[in-house]
């Protein structure tokens, strides 16, 4: 499809490092689409390798594809399959993500010691690409606060976080200015800023109509406001990672320069291999689609050095005591090693023991949407398990599990009736290729499908 790039955009990019107008226009006209995914390291290693179902798109197949060079977990796919009809997509085995933006991994690996327990904030997090990636990189003693200011988008973020299956997570719905209440708290803050979006024109040509110079100027003001609000929440010595999917200098290098001059952070150089095709401008990094196999992206890293080492005071934890019976039920359903439980309006959540004080502190200062792993509710001495427990790494190994074939898995994900011969009465996990998809409850006369209604597949294959 011919793409008419805005002339004002092309004019504004003259002289920007790495901009080659002819190649840039050509790659937009080519109609070429790059599809890439990032696998979930906590799930993929469990997936079986052989396959007989042609409709299913097994993770084992991904890992034989071309690797994205700047990440351990990313792969290019030769074509775009129907992810909706792959049960492993719903099981959280991988995330469909644009390749350039996975460079975040280099930014993190080269600026922080990821083996240390870190407090990380992903400020503009929905739909969760960067957050699920960060969860794959940080240690289990680290905490990720994944924030999204727009409430409806925070729900999509939770869905994707739940699929990833980690418990060291807090999802919040706050304006950047609310983080001023957490001075010097985070070791790392990622600001993947809302921007004018020109970097995604090849993938989404309709976005071209929404682009204007005025919008670039507005985005630039908003980016400054967001950064000024959130930098106080970064520790002295902490790392700020700023990125956009805009080509405009005002939203990229100009913001980087303003961060250094006005917010007094120091830029951090990253090592980039020459064959990656990444364009280095000073200490910031540009991805041009005519030079990398990916879309337009900009990223820069900074360290805060303001000499203020005052740490955030953590509250003394007064945890609710659970009865012996409740603990028995929890131990039966959850791998409790290093895990503590919190109850919120009857719903039980599992969180890493070492993060309890932080989670309690953050709950008093931020608007929490979700935290840890939702376990469910104990009613009449039985656990009514939550979907999040099914997809988590802490669901008990002793939980009864029924392996579905491809057709059954799709039936389940459509929330249709399941016809199964085997299975013990009560709550069972259903799995595909060894990966849990959710819960069913086997009763004497029927099977109840507990796949969340709002997540169910609505369309038919080939529609």
Among 226, 233, 239, 299, binds ligand SAM (CB under 6 A): 226
User: What is the smallest separation between the CB atom of 133 and ligand SAM, expressed in angstroms?
Assistant: 8
Among 17, 26, 115, 150, binds ligand SAM (CB under 6 A): 150
Q: Which helix (H) or strand (E) holds 306?
A: none
Q: Decide: is 128 part of the binding site for ligand SAM (CB under 6 A).
A: yes
Quote the tokens at residue 28. Answer: 């937009």
Quote the tokens at residue 327. Answer: 């603990």
Q: Decide: is 220 part of the binding site for ligand SAM (CB under 6 A).
A: no
Quote the tokens at residue 51. Answer: 């396959």
User: What is the smallest separation between the CB atom of 130 and ligand SAM, expressed in angstroms?
Assistant: 4
Output the CA angle 382-384-390, nearest 5 degrees: 125
Whole-number Å distance between alpha carbons of 10 and 219: 18
Question: Applying CB under 6 A, which part among 51-59, 119-127, 212-220, 356-364 lies near ligand SAM?
Answer: 119-127
User: What is the smallest separation between the CB atom of 98 and ligand SAM, expressed in angstroms?
Assistant: 9
Quote the tokens at residue 441. Answer: 């409850």
Q: What b-and-e string marks burial along 85-122, b requiring 16 or more CB atoms within 10 Å of the CB? A: bbbbbbbbbbbebbbbbbbbbbbbeebbebeebbbbbb
Among 86, 105, 148, 295, binds ligand SAM (CB under 6 A): 148
The set of residues, in sequence order, having a beta carbon less than 8 Å from that of 16 and lying 6+ positions away, is 247, 249, 286
Whole-number Å distance between alpha carbons of 358 and 147: 16
Among 65, 222, 293, 401, binds ligand SAM (CB under 6 A): 222
How many Å is the maximal CA-CA distance in the chain? 72
Q: Are 269 and 111 in contact (CB under 8 A)?
A: no
User: What is the smallest separation between the CB atom of 240 and ligand SAM, expressed in angstroms?
Assistant: 15
Whole-number Å distance between alpha carbons of 364 and 344: 13
Task: Pick the closest to residue 288 from 276, 301, 302, 272 (CA basis).
Answer: 276
Among 74, 87, 92, 129, binds ligand SAM (CB under 6 A): 129
Q: Decide: is 126 part of the binding site for ligand SAM (CB under 6 A).
A: yes
Question: Applying CB under 6 A, which part among 73-81, 145-153, 373-381, 430-438 lies near ligand SAM?
Answer: 145-153
Surface-to-core class of residue 280, CB atoms within 10 Å of its CB (0-12 exposed, 13-18 middle, 19+ buried): middle
Q: Do the bridges between strand 186-192 and strand 119-122 make them parallel or antiparallel, or are there none, so unpaired?
A: parallel
- Nearer to ligand SAM among residue 226 and residue 342 (C-beta): 226
Q: Decide: is 436 part of the binding site for ligand SAM (CB under 6 A).
A: no
- Nearer to ligand SAM among residue 83 and residue 322 (C-beta): 83
Q: Decide: is 263 part of the binding site for ligand SAM (CB under 6 A).
A: no
Q: Decide: is 92 part of the binding site for ligand SAM (CB under 6 A).
A: no
User: What is the smallest separation between the CB atom of 148 and ligand SAM, expressed in angstroms?
Assistant: 5
Q: Decide: is 192 part of the binding site for ligand SAM (CB under 6 A).
A: yes
- How many residues interact with ligand SAM (rule CB under 6 A)? 16
- Nearer to ligand SAM among residue 90 and residue 130 (C-beta): 130
User: What is the smallest separation between the CB atom of 345 and ligand SAM, expressed in angstroms?
Assistant: 27
Among 92, 127, 277, 438, binds ligand SAM (CB under 6 A): 127
- Nearer to ligand SAM among residue 128 and residue 165 (C-beta): 128
Task: Pick the closest to residue 60 from 311, 462, 434 (CA basis).
Answer: 434
Quote the tokens at residue 460. Answer: 């038919």
Judged by the rule CB under 6 A, the positions of this chain that interact with ligand SAM are 124-130, 148-150, 153, 176, 192, 194, 222, 226
């Amino acid at each position: 499809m011919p793409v008419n790039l805005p002339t004002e955009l092309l004019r504004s990019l003259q002289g920007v490092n790495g901009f080659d107008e002819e190649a840039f226009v050509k790659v937009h006209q080519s109609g070429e689409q790059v599809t890439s995914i990032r696998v979930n390291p906590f799930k993929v290693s469990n997936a079986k390798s052989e396959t007989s179902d042609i409709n299913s798109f097994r993770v084992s197949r991904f890992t034989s594809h071309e690797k994205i060079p700047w990440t351990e977990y990313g792969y290019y796919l030769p074509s775009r399959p129907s992810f909706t009809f792959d049960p492993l997509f719903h099981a959280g085995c991988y995330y469909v993500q644009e390749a350039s933006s996975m460079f975040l991994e280099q930014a993190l690996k080269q600026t922080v010691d990821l083996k240390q327990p870190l407090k990380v904030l992903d400020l503009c997090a929905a739909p969760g690409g960067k957050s699920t990636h960060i969860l794959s990189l940080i240690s289990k003693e680290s905490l990720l606060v994944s924030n999204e200011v727009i409430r409806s988008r925070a729900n999509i973020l939770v869905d994707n976080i739940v699929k990833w299956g980690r418990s060291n997570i807090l999802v919040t719905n706050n304006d950047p200015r609310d983080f001023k209440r957490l001075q010097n708290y985070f070791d790392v803050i990622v600001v993947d800023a809302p921007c004018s979006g020109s970097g995604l024109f090849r993938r989404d040509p309709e976005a071209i109509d929404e682009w204007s110079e005025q919008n670039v100027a507005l985005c630039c003001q908003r980016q400054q406001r967001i950064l000024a609000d959130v930098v106080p929440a970064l520790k002295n010595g902490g790392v700020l990672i700023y990125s956009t999917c805009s080509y405009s200098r005002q939203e990229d290098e100009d913001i980087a320069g303003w961060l250094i001059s006005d917010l007094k952070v120091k830029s951090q150089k990253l090592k980039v291999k020459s064959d990656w095709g990444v364009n280095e401008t000073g200490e910031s990094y540009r991805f041009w689609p005519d030079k990398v196999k990916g879309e337009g992206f900009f990223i820069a890293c900074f360290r805060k050095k303001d000499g203020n080492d005052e740490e955030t005071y953590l509250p003394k934890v007064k945890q609710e005591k659970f009865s012996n019976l409740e603990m028995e039920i929890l131990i039966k359903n959850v791998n409790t090693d290093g895990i503590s439980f919190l109850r919120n309006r009857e719903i039980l959540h599992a969180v890493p023991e070492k993060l309890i004080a932080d989670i309690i502190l953050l709950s008093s200062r931020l608007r929490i949407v979700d935290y840890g792993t939702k376990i469910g509710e104990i009613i009449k001495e039985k656990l009514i398990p939550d979907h999040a427990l099914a997809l988590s790494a802490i669901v008990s190994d002793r939980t009864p599990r029924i392996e579905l074939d491809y057709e059954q898995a799709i039936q389940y994900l459509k929330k249709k009736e399941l016809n199964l011969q085997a299975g013990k009465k009560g709550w069972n996990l259903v799995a595909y290729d060894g990966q849990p998809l959710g819960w069913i409850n086997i009763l004497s006369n029927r099977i109840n499908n507990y796949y969340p209604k709002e997540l169910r597949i609505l369309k038919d294959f080939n529609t």
